[in-house]
A and B are shown apart, each in its own frame.
Chain A
Amino acid sequence: GAVVSQHPSRVICKSGTSVKIECRSLDFQATTMFWYRQFPKQSLMLMATSNEGSKATYEQGVEKDKFLINHASLTLSTLTVTSAHPEDSSFYICSAWDRENYGYTFGSGTRLTVV
């Protein structure tokens, strides 16, 4: 079946540094990528939606200059958390939409801890 490889699975970084999270669709073309954030013991909240070759659309309250999303190809989307702070510590999950097979595939998630 469809697979989305998300890396890294865990990352610890210092406050003020940047972290890049990658989501790669291995056997299909991800025309749309959704990025979600999940705080401990909470549900998943949509952060942004990106379509290949277009600028991402951010949800209200999500800073586009802080969470940089790039979707330059049909198989790769990245989320960069810039100038990370402890309150950015969370579980980030991507979800790829496969238009050809009408299916969504989630990545395995990235646990970000900012110290």
Chain B
Amino acid sequence: AQSVTQLGSHVSVSEGALVLLRCNYSSSVPPYLFWYVQYPNQGLQLLLKYTSAATLVKGINGFEAEFKKSETSFHLTKPSAHMSDAAEYFCAVSEGYGQNFVFGPGTRLSVLP
């Protein structure tokens, strides 16, 4: 069975500081991994995805994530936080295209002025 853990339910950073959101997964098959962002009472917006190509994945809004098989991790980073980055972030794993997602518990990112 697949599972996703996200260390830190709430992360606060100052505007302009590095953003690091952690994600670890377990999967019995080579995983497809995703990061989504959710603003209050809205749906999910895809930030980036890993589907067995390059291990360093660049996404939208300056975010990127690195797939590390040995660590079963897919941490999300952004060099410089912006106030508009404040939102809920979900890491998700899938067994393949067309399969459902298993979501992590989410990390709420706060950006302080």
Contact = CB atoms under 8 A, between A and B. Distances in A.
Interface of A: 6, 31-32, 34, 36, 42-46, 49, 91, 93, 95, 97, 99, 102, 104, 106-109, 111
A93 B44 contact: yes
Contact of B104 (A32, A43, A93, A95): A43
Interface residues of B, number: 17
A32 B97 CA distance: 11
Interface of B: 36, 41-46, 90, 97-98, 100-106
B105 A49 contact: no
Nearest to B6: A43
A102 B51 CA distance: 11
A97 B98 contact: yes
Given A43-B90, A108-B43, A109-B43, A95 B97 contact: no
A46 B97 contact: no
